[in-house]
Amino acid sequence: MSAESNGTVDRTELDERIQRSWDELLEAVGALDDGLLTAAGPEGWSVKDHLAHIARWEEYLLAALEGRDPAAALGLAGGQDEDAENAVLHARDADLSPEEVRRLLADTHAAVVTRLRTADDADLQRHLELIEGDTWKHFDEHRGWIGALLAAGRP
């Protein structure tokens, strides 16, 4: 995703990239039953954990786009490295049911898409790296890990 030479973001490209990656993520996990969603893989994360993680980082993005403190929006102390923040979020969401995670993921993504569609070019440009990192690049990264879990017979 790149900014156009006049400093604006190609909204069509942004929308298409996010939607394509989102659809691929949903295709990868849509037919999984609760047992497959909750079984931990070798790294200790289940598919459900990956999905909750994605939703939380979209919440982070949404807070940034709305001008709120993203770390505070996630209940994080701030100033921690990303691995420590991920560990906090992982532990906090461990007891969510698959249904709760599916709802969290869908609701958060819908809110992000709505906000991106109403954001002005300056907001999109200012947050472009975060948008990329917390939407399609993040979806693709975790879809790969989820695929590896499933291919290895895990969960």
pLDDT at 2: 47
Model pTM score: 0.92
pLDDT by residue for the chain (155 residues), tens only, comes to 444 445 578 999 999 999 999 999 999 999 999 999 999 988 899 999 999 999 999 999 999 999 999 999 999 987 788 999 999 999 999 999 999 999 999 999 999 999 999 999 999 999 999 999 999 999 999 999 999 988 877 44
Structure tokens at 124: 């999109």
pLDDT at 80: 80
DSSP string, 82-117: HHHHHHHHHHHHTT--HHHHHHHHHHHHHHHHHHHH
pLDDT at 61: 98
Q: For residue 3, what are the β-bridge partners?
A: 9
- Domain locations in the chain as residue ranges: 46-151
pLDDT at 4: 46
Instruction: Write down the H helix ranges in the chain.
Output: 11-29, 34-38, 47-65, 70-73, 82-93, 98-118, 121-126, 128-134, 136-151
